[in-house]
Amino acid sequence: MVTLIIGKKGTGKTKKLINLATEAVEASKGNVVVIEKGSKLTYDVSHKARLIDTEQYAITGYDAFFGFLSGLCAGNYDVTDVLVDSTLKIGGQDFTAFAAFIEKINVLATKTDTKFTFLVSADASELPQSLDAVTVKI
């Protein structure tokens, strides 16, 4: 399952991500992974969740990001939840490439039985209509 939390900067997306990560840690019988660009969530996310800074792995672009997430799921079969902050800062502002990335993630989520949640700092009207099926707006 893929969920997008969409809203402009300052609309409470990161706070929602922290709450979702806390809920996932409590409910999961596997591993919860929180991915961010930079290290601003270090003290906000439970120590029971795996916190990954994409800058440490030089991840840029949606192809590299998809490869990283695929490897994450392949290397650890019991990842139940992946929550991503600052998705557009990691992959880029190309919404067409973003839509293609989400399509591939949807297939990965189904194959690995992993829930993916992405925070997107944009207005919903800016995104391609193909993403409407996976969108949650704040």
What's the pLDDT score for residue 106? 92
First-residue to last-residue Cα distance in the chain = 18
Domain 2-137 class in CATH: alpha beta
What's the pLDDT score for residue 113? 93
What's the pLDDT score for residue 58? 92
| Predicted confidence band of residue 136 (pLDDT cuts 50, 70, 90) | low
Q: Domain ranges in the chain?
A: 2-137
Closest CA to 120 of 82, 77, 91, 80: 91
DSSP assignment of 62-97 equals HHHHHHHHHHHHHH-TTEEEEEESSHHHHH-S-HHH
Mean pLDDT, residues 122-137 taken together: 77
Give the burial class of 105: count Cβ atoms within 10 A of its Cβ; 0-12 exposed, 13-18 middle, 19 or more buried: buried
pTM to 2 decimal places: 0.90
What is the C-alpha to C-alpha distance for residues 22 and 95, in angstroms, rounded to an integer? Answer: 29
pLDDT tens per residue across span 60-110: 899 999 999 999 999 888 999 999 998 999 999 999 999 999 999 999 999
